[in-house]
Structure 1
Amino acid sequence: MIDSEDIRVTRAAYDEVAELYAKLFRRHLHANIFDRSMLDAFAEAVRENGNGPVADIGCGPGRVTSYLAAAGLEMSGVDLSPEMIRLAREEYPDIPFEVGPMEQLRYGDAALAGLVACYSIIHIPPHRVPAVLTELARVVRPGGHAVFGFQAADEPTGVRDYAHKVAPAYRWAPGTFAEALAAHGFRATATLSREARPDEYTPHAAVLAVRV
């Protein structure tokens, strides 16, 4: 199993804060119409494309996984943190969750109709992102959909370090992230950029994409 230093640091950090994280973000989606809109668009795209299994990669305690399951998608979740997965299984016992890195997924080739990666790519050092995107593309069938969420860079291009409260992280300019997707099996179809909410420190972005 892949187990680099950044993976070990991120896993340990989220294990430590899992209970607090789940409590703080339990109703985050309910208060954020913009983030919900991208998830709703993603869910509709998957349904219109014939539906099928969808994975939440970096699912944490399962709030996004559950939201999309309620929207009619056949969801499962994967996360590095055993504590996050424990909480997700307790809260949503009808959804399958498992521990694992996004660099080495247990799904078969083209097994998924779609995937979600909300605020999980941010913890991958930029030099390793191409391999991660290649692995994500491997498990999504051609024509399948994906949605990525992340804290956005202030600059129009590039990637920047980000002083994340839990683990080392990186902020991507939406256009730069779309370019990375295009080089590794996906094509961006829509981008949403929004300013920081009062309880946030950075702008945020989400990119919808299709597996080419």
Structure 2
Amino acid sequence: MGTDDWLTSTRISYDTVAANYADQVRGAIAGHQYLRAALALFADSVRAAGGGPVADVGCGPGHVTAHLHELGLDAFGIDLSPGMIDVARRDHPGLRFDVGSMTDPNLPDASIAGLLAWQSLIHIPNEQALTVFRHFHRALRPGGPLQLLFHVGDGSQLKTEGYGGQPMKVHVYRRQPDQVSSWLRDTGFEVEAQMLLNPGEHASQALVFARRRLHA
């Protein structure tokens, strides 16, 4: 499947489920102490690196962007799905949300102080991962932190039904933290930590904490 094909399928799928997805994740951060702690650590890292604008890439309905804003960050969201962006703007007026793709984000070089991508890499095929991470590296300032959250496992599965029983057509990729960390190192990042949530379970997730190297 070409890049345009899977991007189109992903965009249409999330346009379809946007409202139901927003209802499902509303309050998810408040109920998960480790996710709150990870975001607090990210906010501290951004401030320690000098502060500035922060991109939440694959922001969905904007709940993570809003939480970062509550932590005092100048956060804005980017998502492939116009439907998700409409919901984000509705639910979080006053915050900035833009339609865009992590495969070619409209972010100037070294323009952001931090970048977060939670559960948005799960639809990126392996052959596109290095391209995405190179864009992340290009957009981040030297020393800027990067935080990723993704499903742990191996292989991919086609998801045909989503939130609220709505039809979807997206591949969901599960990956091992060591593989993601290797890709990050190959694209100019220093990996600082990995963290497993619900280790050993089917719903296991991983957090990877990294930052753009100060020097090439």
Give your verdict on TM over 0.5. Answer: yes
Equivalent position to 2:187, from 173, 177, 184: 184
Q: What is the distance in 2 between the residues matched to 1:175 and 1:37?
A: 22
* Structure 1 letter corresponding to 2:193: A
Matched, 1:161 2:150: no
Kept in 2, the 8 Å contact 1:140–1:211? The answer is: yes
Paired residues, number? 204
Question: 2 CA distance for matches of 1:161 and 1:93?
Answer: 36
After TM superposition, the score normalised by the length of structure 2 is 0.90
Matched ranges for 1:81-92 at <5 A: 81-92=81-92
- Contact between 2:123 and 2:173, CA under 8 Å: does it hold in 1? yes
1: distance between equivalents of 2:85 and 2:199?
28
Amino acid aligned to 1:203: S
Match of 1:209 in 2: 210
Q: Find out whether 1:114 has 2:114 as its counterpart.
A: yes
2: CA distance, partners of 1:45 / 1:58: 20
Asked if 1:57 corresponds to 2:57, the answer is: yes
TM-score, normalised to structure 1, is 0.91
Further displaced range: 200-209 or 159-168? 159-168
Q: Which amino acid aligns with 1:210?
A: R
Q: CA deviation at 1:201?
A: 4.2
Letter in structure 1 aligned against 2:206: A
Q: Percent identity?
A: 37
- Give the corresponding residue for 1:132: 132
- Matched position secondary structure for 2:109: coil
2:169 is equivalent to residue 174 of structure 1: no
* Structure 2 gap ranges (5+): 163-167
For 1:137 and 1:162, the matched residues in 2 are separated by: 28
* Alignment root-mean-square deviation, CA: 1.7
- Aligned structure 1 segments of 4 or more residues deviating by more than 6 angstroms: none
* Residue 148 (str. 1) matches residue 143 (str. 2): no
In 2: Cα distance, 1:194 partner to 1:108 partner? 33
Aligned twin of 1:156: none
Counterpart in the other structure of 1:70 = 70
Select between 67-76 and 166-175 the one with higher mean Cα deviation.
166-175
Query: Which amino acid is 1:88 matched to?
Result: A
